[in-house]
Amino acid sequence: MVDPLSPERRSWLMGRVRQKNTKPEIVVRSLAHQLGYRFRLHRRDLPGRPDLVFPKLKKVIFVHGCFWHRHGCSKATTPKSNLAYWQPKFAENVERDKRAIAELLSLGWEPMVVWECETRDIDALSQSLSTFLRA
């Protein structure tokens, strides 16, 4: 299947994909704030640049998109065209995530990953966040 967009247009379109302040991230931030926790965002001095950082608790939260980070749910589809590009891209994303979590653990930080699809059930997510942040 041939891409109907020109390479320039496709590049522009992919450049519009947000890395920060995504809807799932805003949901997690809002819930953490409602639970009474204060946090920092996207600290560059920590491996993987976590989305939410709770310095006093030494805990971090990553909010991962199911497609880009390969959750395995129905949102993690694989494009049918250009597999030579997508398969290594996804593999590198997963490997980078594993390295970041391993580095954080070695530095004494406790990480949590919240998947995009988990942000739809607010009650369950609130319970998970509360359990993680209280432990």
**Structure pTM?**
0.85
Sign of CA dihedral 9, 11, 14, 20: negative
DSSP assigned state of 112 = E
Between 53 and 10, the more confident residue is 53
**What is the per-residue pLDDT across 32-41, written as a single tens digit (0 to 9) for each?**
999 999 999 9
pLDDT averaged over every residue in the chain: 92
- Which pLDDT band, with edges at 50, 70 and 90, does 1 fall under? low
Mean pLDDT value across residues 102-129: 97
Give the Cα-Cα-Cα angle 41, 42, 45 (nearest 5 degrees).
120
**What is the per-residue pLDDT across 32-88, written as a single tens digit (0 to 9) for each?**
999 999 999 999 999 999 999 999 999 999 999 999 899 989 888 888 888 898 999
CATH number of 18-134: 3.40.960.10
